[in-house]
Chain A
Amino acid sequence: MSTKIFKHIQSTAVPLPIENIDTDQIIPARFLKATTRDGFGNNLFRDWRFDENDNPKQEFVLNNPTYAGKVLVAGKNFGCGSSREHAAWALSDYGFDAVVSSFFADIFKGNALNNGLLPVQVSDDFLAKIFDELYSDKDAQIEIDLEQQVIRISNTGDEEAFEINAYKKACLTNGYDDIDYILSNKALVEEFESKR
């Protein structure tokens, strides 16, 4: 079973310079009642995007036509809180392929990688540079090269290397997943069980 194959992204980006964005903001619990993985994008950042009467809040960046793109750039400790994978589904379903931040919560990072959403962790300085660039040129392009593990601001040529677990990188670039990997080691699992 394969996940999305992933190598290179070049896109405009959406700035969301808020720290500690938790999974309850990304997708509030009351929208977790679905039993499929689809359609969560409509409720991404629901309570920041819409008021009580479901009218868009103009001041929120996703309602601001100035910014669009496949890359979300967010403040540090993105994705803290619950283990709900719905957060990764909502970001993907909305149209993001990557989230850039200077720090990610563990479970979110794992969930994102399992769903073809690339978490790119950069330094605080580089994050600040991206925000500056996006605020001076809304059309600034961000390039993310997964093979080379480099993120670049096209306008300025500023770039930074990022880390990704080698196994996870192989999964993303080849489109295979953890279950395939463990099942290919099934004999070891049975051997382990028989020894207990």
Chain B
Amino acid sequence: MGNTLFDKIWDAHVVSSKEGFPDILYIDTHFIHEVTSPQAFDGLRKRGLPVLRPQQTVATADHNVPTWDQHLPIKEELSRYQVDMLTKNCAEFGVELYGLGHPYQGIVHVIGPELGITRPGGTYVCGDSHTSTHGAFGAIAFGIGTSQVEQVMATQCLLQSRPKRMKIEVNGKLQNGVGAKDIILYIISKTTAAGGTGYAVEYAGDTIRSLSMEGRMTICNMSIEMGARCGLIAPDDTTIEYVQGREFAPKGEDWDKAVAYWNTLYSDDDAQFDSVLNFNAEDIEPMITYGTNPGMGIGVTQHVPVTADVDPTEQKSYANSLAYMGVHDDESLIGKPIDYVFIGSCTNSRIEDLREVATFFKGRHKADHVTVWVVPGSKQVQEQAIAEGLDKVFEAAGFPLREPGCSACLGMNEDKIPAGKYCVSTSNRNFEGRQGPNSRTILASPLTAAAAAVTGKITDIRELLAEGELVG
């Protein structure tokens, strides 16, 4: 019987597999950031242990950092303290830090790929659930808790039971204005927020194959939103081209060897999956969420599902969720006024996302009442955007290009959505209060967010796209 892509990579990293115990899995690179690492460093100190492989550990400051005036000291005291603590800990334990002001600084899941650290066949972990993003390269990438951060620091290994394997195939041609973000929001709306729990999900099919690396990262990024342990996509020419020439990518002979290995990384035709789902790209509309978990999504022209149609045990929570969002049964959200637009986060803050929205914003202006935050995923994305003049396009559209960080994705810095306000957001979570206490998040693609910025309300991007102007 053939092997799945997931099993091939897993097997290549098993240090020890013993009946009745989780496997000891070797970790190629451990990414750390300021929020989930301080207690882990403390744990090492208490145990008197070093970071075992500091050269396989990469640190950045992203969750807490301001996205304006980054050259100035961080104003918010606790944030500053946490970022300083990371600097101190990295110095003490010999870990390379891409901190504020460093040309490589950025959201941890954006910088790993763009620096060529994330590569096919590798194992990656980070104390952040969206580590699943790195799976887009055909890698195993898990989000972990702080005890596990300490574990990986101490041992370069992670104790893990092998998850079940799921395959999600998407085939067919996407409609104009529909992109990777819509695909994954659509999938999650079908699986529900718990439907992938216990699984490693491999995305396959010609629609997935046709996506750029940025699009694939968007898909894998949100695997965790259906509860999956991780998501991955078999590497192909698109992957190899993306990695080639990047700062830390293998060079010369090493490169050739690596590529030869990467070409063996796919699920065999007769590989067995524990679950298989199939979707048609043609069925996918531009998606938006109406509730308070990412599974509560609909096509932009559809209506909010009626409470009475929901599973009886969930009706109360469902009704609470609609009340929180200020939407009601059977409402069409098209035309609903919104207050903020956030284009950013590890889901949609890469250069391709910024190019796409800049193309749309060219010659258009944001609605007066809408505040627009465009936050690049990394310093490199920011520099690239400026080099291409995208910042000028945004300024002409009525808002600036900000500086890199997680920003309004989780509102740990100053970028918080005020209570009761609606934000169309390209991030990955619409949980209650995620973007600020009592804020209301509507998840969408960068294009749908950009459309809302211009019209000031929920809009079907397809209506704004002149025939052939743009393909999402």
Residues of A within 8 A of B (CB): 1, 17-20, 22, 24-25, 28-30, 32-37, 47, 52, 75-77, 80-86, 88, 103, 105-107, 110-111, 114-115, 124, 128, 165-167, 177-179, 181-183, 185-186, 188-189, 192-193
Contact = CB atoms under 8 A, between A and B. Distances in A.
The residue among A20, A128, A188 with the most chain B CB atoms within 10 A of its own CB is A20
Contacts of B21: 167, 181
23 contacts: A1-B43, A19-B317, A24-B432, A25-B431, A28-B433, A29-B63, A33-B412, A37-B39, A75-B313, A77-B197, A77-B227, A80-B194, A81-B129, A83-B143, A85-B145, A85-B147, A106-B229, A107-B143, A107-B144, A124-B313, A179-B154, A181-B21, A189-B15
B71 interface: no
A77 B131 CA distance: 20
B148 A178 contact: yes
A110 B159 CA distance: 10
B437 interface: yes
Contacts of B155: 179, 182-183, 186, 189
Given A83-B143, A114-B147, A192-B15, A33 B26 contact: no
B150 A179 contact: yes
User: Which 3 pairs across A and B sit closest by C-beta, in order of nearness?
Assistant: A85-B145, A111-B145, A33-B78
Question: Which of A35, A75, A86, A186 gathers the greatest number of chain B CB atoms within 10 Å?
Answer: A35
Interface of B: 15-16, 20-22, 24, 26, 35-36, 38-39, 42-43, 46-47, 63-64, 78-79, 81-82, 85, 127-129, 131, 143-148, 150-151, 154-157, 159, 161, 163, 193-194, 197-198, 224, 227, 229, 293, 313-314, 316-317, 320, 410-412, 419, 429, 431-434, 437-438
A103 B227 CA distance: 11
A28 B434 CA distance: 7
B185 to A, nearest CB: 16
Contacts of B20: 166-167
A55 B291 CA distance: 26
Nearest to A75: B317
Nearest to B321: A20
A106 to B, nearest CB: 6
Contact of B156 (A1, A165, A189): A189
Contacts of A83: 36, 127-129, 131, 143-145
Given A85-B147, A110-B148, A179-B151, A35 B320 contact: no
Q: Select the residue from A28, A88, A115 with max chain B CB neighbours within 10 A.
A: A28
Contact of A18 (B197, B317, B411): B317
Contacts of A76: 194
A84 to B, nearest CB: 7
Contacts of A80: 193-194, 227, 293
A75 B314 CA distance: 9
Contacts of B197: 77, 103, 105-106
Contacts of B411: 29-30
A83 B16 CA distance: 25
Given A32-B35, A183-B155, A188-B15, 11 more contacts: A20-B317, A36-B38, A77-B194, A77-B197, A81-B431, A85-B145, A107-B129, A110-B145, A167-B22, A181-B159, A189-B24
Interface centre among A32, A34, A83, A182 (most CB of B within 10 A): A83
B306 to A, nearest CB: 18
* Residue from A29, A36, A115 having most chain B Cβ neighbours under 10 A: A29
A17 B26 contact: no
Contacts of B16: 185, 188
A29 B434 contact: yes
A34 B146 CA distance: 13
Nearest to A76: B194
B157 A182 contact: yes
Nearest to B76: A33
B437 A47 contact: yes
A82 B131 CA distance: 11
Contacts of B81: 33, 35
A189 B93 CA distance: 20
Contacts of A85: 36, 39, 127, 145-147
